[in-house]
Structure formats: C-alpha cells, structure tokens
Amino acid sequence: MGSLGEPSLTFKPLHPTFGAAVEGVDFSKPVPAEVLEEIKKGADRFGVLVFRGAHLNNETHIDFSKSLGDPNLYDVSAHIKAGRKMRFPEQPEIFDVSNVDDKGNIVTDADPARKEGNKGNFLWHADMVYNPRRALYSLLRAVELPPKGSGGETQYLDSRTAYDELPQDLKDEIEPLITNNSLMHNRKLGSPEFFKHIEPLDQPMARYKLVAPHEGSGRKNLYMTTYAHHLDGKTWEESKILFDRLWDHLIQEKYILTIYWDNNGDMVMWDNTAVLHRATSTGSYGEKYVRDMRRTTTKDNSAYSWGENDPNDPWEAGISQKRP
Ligand SMILES: [Fe+2]
C-alpha cells in the first residue's frame, strides 16, 4: 500500500488463471514493508510474479529474498569437499543455476554430473519437495542471457486450478494420499542411464500430502512433482499408475504459462506451494552461449511447512545425504 493505503503496484495478468507482471517496485533501495505485503498478496493470488528490469545484484537479491522469508542455504562445504568449485562460496543463499563454472567457462561433458543432473530440471517440479521442510518462494534472476530465440524459457503450471478441475471421484481418492519425494528419483527420470546405479530408496524421502491446502489463498494445490517416487503404502509401480493419470491431467496446455526471459536483470518469483515449474530444453544455446541465472529460495512458514515430516529430525537431500 502507498502512504494513503492505496495499492502502489500494478499486477498485469499473463494468463487466464495465474501469473502476473508486476510494475511499480523500486529495487534500487530496500523494498518497504507495505510493498512487500502487496507482493506477497500478489504471489498468493497469481503464483508467479514477473519483475522486468529488476536489476538486482547478489547482495540485493539476497536482501530482498530474506525480507520474504528464511533463506535456504546451499551446502557449500559438501560441494567443495566433493570437488566442485563454487562461484559464490561466500553467499550460500545463491543457487547457481547457470551453465558456467567458476572460471566462467560453459559447462560441458567435462562435468557430466552437473550436466546430467540439470536434466531433472526439465521435468515438472516445485523446488525442495525432496527436503523435510518445503520451500515457499523461489526468486530467479537473469544475469546474462543467451541471444534471443535460442531457448531457455521457464514454464509454469497452475496446479491449483488443475486440482480444482479434477473430477470429484478422483479428488476424493487422492485427498488422503501422501507422497514420498526424492531428489535422486527426479535426477534418474531426467537422465536414466547416467544415474542408473542410484537407488532412490537407499536415501531418505520427504513426505507430503498430495493435496496440500494453500494458506495464502485458501485454495487447494495438487502438490504433485517429479520428485514423487511413491505413495505411502504403495510400491513405485503401483503409485506410478495414479501418478501417470494425474500427469495426463496436469500437463494440459491450458494450465501452462511460458515465461520468455527478455533482458538481463529480469526476475521471476514464484510460490512453490501453488505452482509447478520447469526449465525448458536448452534449445540452440546449449553449450554455445553463457546463460547465467541465479536463484534464491525461502523456506515455507505455513502450517504445512514440514508436511508429514518430523521438524525435530531435520535433514537435507544432497550429495552428503545419508539414510538416517
Ligand atoms: Fe526448480
């Protein structure tokens, strides 16, 4: 709200049911509390907010993200121990989702684990569903984009509206179900050959209700992602029958919004508890052009933040992960 209580931001819808471009935020200085409230309300309603020309740097990106919630921290030491060079070891809030290494070289087959692991991001997901405390907002900013027309769009899926439009008998069937979620399951789906020796069941899984209430809007969300390995009480094979049926429903064109990254400095913020997203295939830029994208993520603070997991037994999926 402005000083007289009127809204100070403009939300321009990008799709009939979700997504909006936000105008009126001045990112050149700390965003005032009343503007933050408008942004959060906008995120509750639209799920995906696009801020063109935000021009944040790592510091202001982290500050803005922290003003929206507790940051998720990247496990820098585990990655360094595993031999990976980090571009921002002093800023664990920054998730480096670029295709460049610490020397600015484009990631190629020389780092197959990273290249193959990234393929999981081309599958529909919400960030951090594989951890016992789920994520709320992700904020992805474009630092250096490949030439226009060479691919790299980000797609979003309105999983709340998709839930609303399920047939009632299917809604009733899935209401009590709980998914078991694994980062490595998604990685295997993305690159089956490369990760064929990894068994997701050897690692802990995060459990969440398949139908999750969305506090900010009072709606329900179909919290179905490619991290979902199996349902409580069912095997992977048995679960897959229902999962495939839900995917057939979810991936209808009418639920999908494609965001084109226009210019360096653009930022997109989304609510992981209300929408799904995916990276699109690298198109022609692949190993040819730098695509420097950086993300921060906030932890969920809602009543459903820990899902069906024990808040007293926190762990995080990752390369140092061991089964408890
Ligand atoms: Fe993601």
Do 180 and 318 form a contact (C-beta atoms < 8 A)? no
With bands split at pLDDT 50, 70 and 90, how would you rate the model's confidence at 148?
confident
Ligand 1 centroid distance, CA of 277 (Å): 6
With bands split at pLDDT 50, 70 and 90, how would you rate the model's confidence at 324?
very low
Ligand 1 centroid distance, CA of 293 (Å): 12
Ligand 1 centroid distance, CA of 224 (Å): 14
pLDDT of 99 reads 86
- The pLDDT tens digits of the residues spanning 34-47 come to 999 999 999 999 99
Average pLDDT of the chain?
Answer: 91
Average pLDDT over residues 127-144: 97
Q: Which helix (H) or strand (E) segment is 284 a member of?
A: none
Do 44 and 271 form a contact (C-beta atoms < 8 A)? yes
- The pLDDT tens digits of the residues spanning 113-125 come to 777 888 899 999 9
Of 203, 250, 191, which Cα lies nearest the Cα of 225? 250
The DSSP call for residue 23 is: E
From CA 203, how far away is CA 78, in angstroms rounded? 17
From CA 19, how far away is CA 7, in angstroms rounded? 18
Ligand 1 centroid distance, CA of 278 (Å): 6
Ligand 1 ion: nearby residues, β-carbon < 5 Å? 127
Q: Is CATH 3.40.50.300 the right assignment for the domain spanning 10-299?
A: no
Ligand 1 centroid distance, CA of 155 (Å): 10
